[in-house]
Amino acid sequence: MQVLNLDTVKQQLTMPMAIEAIEDLLKVQHENPSWVKTPERLVIPTYQDSESHQTGSHLSMPSVVFDGSEEYAVVKLVTICPDNPARNKPTTVATIAVSDTATGETLAFMDGIYVTQVRTAALSGVATKYMANPDSKTVAVVGTGGMAYEQLNAVLTVCPNITEVTLWNRTTDKAHDFKEVFERDYSQWDVTLTVCDTIEEAVKDADIINLATRATEGLFEVDQIKANAHVNAVGAYQPNMKEVSDSVIESSAYVVIDDLEGGKHEAGDLIQADDNSGCDWQWDQLSGQLMDLVSGDLKVETADGSKGITLFKSVGAASFDAAVALKIAQAAKQDQIGQAVEL
Q: What is the pLDDT of residues 51-68, one digit of tens each?
A: 788 888 999 999 999 988
Q: What is the pLDDT of residue 332?
A: 84
Rg, C-alpha atoms of the chain: 19
Q: Rounded to the nearest 5 degrees, what angle is found at the Cα of 306, between the Cα atoms of 210 and 205?
A: 40
Q: What is the pLDDT of residue 76?
A: 96
Express as a percent the part of the chain with pLDDT over 70: 99
Q: What is the pLDDT of residue 337?
A: 87
* Spatial distance between the Cα atoms of 34 and 29, rounded to a whole number of angstroms: 7
Asked which of 55-59, 108-112, 121-125, 178-182 is least confident by mean pLDDT, the reply is 55-59
Domain range annotation of the chain: 2-115+319-340, 128-316
Answer yes or no: is pLDDT of 340 > 90.
no
Answer yes or no: is pLDDT of 306 > 80.
no
Average pLDDT over residues 215-229: 96
Average pLDDT over residues 308-322: 95
Are the CB atoms for 246 and 279 separated by under 8 Å?
yes
Q: What is the pLDDT of residue 192?
A: 98
Q: How crowded is residue 278: how many other Cβ atoms within 10 Å of its Cβ? A: 7
Answer yes or no: is pLDDT of 238 > 90.
no
* Spatial distance between the Cα atoms of 73 and 107, rounded to a whole number of angstroms: 10
Answer yes or no: is pLDDT of 307 > 80.
yes
Answer yes or no: is pLDDT of 119 > 80.
yes
* Spatial distance between the Cα atoms of 112 and 116, rounded to a whole number of angstroms: 6
Q: How crowded is residue 303: how many other Cβ atoms within 10 Å of its Cβ? A: 10
Please give the mean pLDDT across all residues of the chain.
94
* Residue 41 or 251, more confident: 251
* Spatial distance between the Cα atoms of 109 and 80, rounded to a whole number of angstroms: 20
Q: What is the pLDDT of residue 15?
A: 97
Q: What is the pLDDT of residue 101?
A: 96
Answer yes or no: is pLDDT of 122 > 90.
yes
The residue among 215, 212, 178, 175 whose CA lies nearest residue 196 is 175
Q: Rounded to the nearest 5 degrees, what angle is found at the Cα of 210, between the Cα atoms of 208 and 211?
A: 140
pLDDT in tens, 90-99: 888 999 999 9
Residue 242 DSSP class: B
* Spatial distance between the Cα atoms of 292 and 200, rounded to a whole number of angstroms: 32
What's the pLDDT band for 302 if we cut at 50, 70, 90? confident
Instruction: Enter the pTM of the model.
Output: 0.91
| Strand, helix or coil for residue 257 | strand
CATH fold of the domain at 128-316: Rossmann fold (3.40.50)
Which residues are within 8 A (CB) of 94 and not within 5 positions of it... i.e. 6 or more apart?
76, 77, 78, 79, 111, 112, 113, 115, 116
Q: What is the pLDDT of residue 234?
A: 97
Express as a percent the part of the chain with pLDDT over 90: 82
pLDDT in tens, 255-290: 999 999 889 999 999 999 999 999 999 999 999 999
Answer yes or no: is pLDDT of 303 > 90.
no
Average pLDDT over residues 185-209: 97
DSSP codes, 297-343: SS----TTS----EEEE----HHHHHHHHHHHHHHHHHHT-SEE---
Q: How crowded is residue 222: how many other Cβ atoms within 10 Å of its Cβ? A: 17
Domain at 2-115+319-340: CATH architecture = 2-Layer Sandwich (3.30)
What's the pLDDT band for 41 if we cut at 50, 70, 90? confident
pLDDT in tens, 139-179: 999 999 989 999 999 999 999 999 999 999 999 999 999 99
Q: Which helix (H) or strand (E) holds 175?
A: helix 172-185
| Strand, helix or coil for residue 214 | coil
Q: What is the pLDDT of residue 215?
A: 95
Are the CB atoms for 190 and 170 separated by under 8 Å?
no
Q: What is the pLDDT of residue 256?
A: 98
Q: What is the pLDDT of residue 130?
A: 97
